[in-house]
Amino acid sequence: MDHYPPVPELPDLPEATIARLPEYLRALHLLAETGADTVSSEGLAAAAGVSSAKLRKDLSQLGSYGTRGVGYDVTRLVEHIEHVLGLTKRRNVALIGIGNLGQALAGYAGFASRGFRISALVDVDPARVGQRLGGLTVTHLDDLPETVRTEQVAIGVITTPAPAAQVVADRLVAAGVTSILNFAPCVLTVPDYVDVRKVDLAIELQILSFHEHRKSSASDRTGGRGPVLLPGAALPGVGAVSDPPAALPGVMPDAPTPPRVARGGARTTRRTKPPATKVVGS
């Protein structure tokens, strides 16, 4: 059983740790679906794509240290992380901008199983306002204050074109929404008490493009033979480039230089002429 020493109700966690908690939670849900009751730190770290040392440090900040030789109780740890992330209470979400992306998000069934409910769809296009989508009626942006109040919206998701995003953010803040997820490719200006998370797929693709460009450049420099190894770089099982070559199986390292062989196969050795003996008194 996990050990949970007293910790603050809402511990003050680093942003990097907070960003990793959903990854741990996703991995734990998958483990629970397979029927796992416990999981080691190494197993959970591998499922979440982090190092086991980083995972143990993150979970220790929550007050969860696991049990030596057993690991973490999956159900207990799910409950603990969900409590810290505030997922024990269902959060209502308003989608503003019911274009292709907005419609796709509105139809995504995965939100409900993670504690979120799409409770409002908002747009300004007369052709969309009044339509029914996924059991919800699209309302007008002008009615946002009433929508936020009646639907108890906690989070606003902006999926509008960039030029309209700031206006939507201002309307959300004015309606009392203090958490915004922005899919528009722009930077929003909001008060300090408002939290904004940005998702820009084009930026992510550009970052991947950089890595592709770097790999192709390395391949070009080596004529397609693989990456360029700089001094000090290591290959698995070989060692650093600057290191002496490791001995191969069956080959003795640092073998002595074989003796010189004269023609005809006879072994030659260098002979040293003994010093002359001086006879005194002869």
Identify the CATH number of the domain in which residue 37 sits: 1.10.10.10
Residue 165 lies in a domain: yes
Q: Containing domain of residue 155, as a range?
A: 91-200
Give me the pLDDT at residue 230, please.
52
Query: 69 and 124 share a domain?
Result: no
Q: What percent of the chain has pLDDT over 90?
A: 61
Q: What total number of domains does the chain contain?
A: 2
pLDDT at 20 over 90: yes
Span 142-150, mean pLDDT? 97
Closest CA to 11 of 84, 79, 118: 84
Query: 147 and 176 share a domain?
Result: yes
Range of weakest confidence among 68-82, 136-150, 231-245: 231-245
Instruction: For residue 178, give both structure tokens.
Output: 């203090």
Residue 262 lies in a domain: no
The two most distant CA atoms of the chain are separated, in Å, by 135
Question: Are residues 66 and 2 in contact, defined by beta-carbon separation less than 8 angstroms?
Answer: yes
List Cβ neighbours of 83 (8 Å cut-off, separation of 6 or more): none
Q: How confident is the model at residue 4 (pLDDT cuts 50, 70, 90)?
A: very low
Angle at 163 between CA 167 and CA 197, to 5 degrees: 70
pLDDT at 236 over 80: no
Question: Are residues 155 and 171 in contact, defined by beta-carbon separation less than 8 angstroms?
Answer: no
Q: Are strands 132-133 and 91-96 parallel, antiparallel or unpaired?
A: unpaired
pLDDT at 190 over 70: yes
Give me the pLDDT at residue 275, please.
53
User: How much is the mean pLDDT over the chain?
Assistant: 82
Query: 135 and 101 share a domain?
Result: yes
Range of weakest confidence among 103-117, 178-192, 236-250: 236-250
List Cβ neighbours of 88 (8 Å cut-off, separation of 6 or more): 82, 115
Span 21-49, mean pLDDT? 94
pLDDT at 260 over 90: no
Give me the pLDDT at residue 44, please.
95
Query: 107 and 127 share a domain?
Result: yes
Span 27-52, mean pLDDT? 94
**Global confidence as pTM:** 0.70
Residue 66: φ, ψ to 5°:
70, -175
**257/138: higher pLDDT:** 138
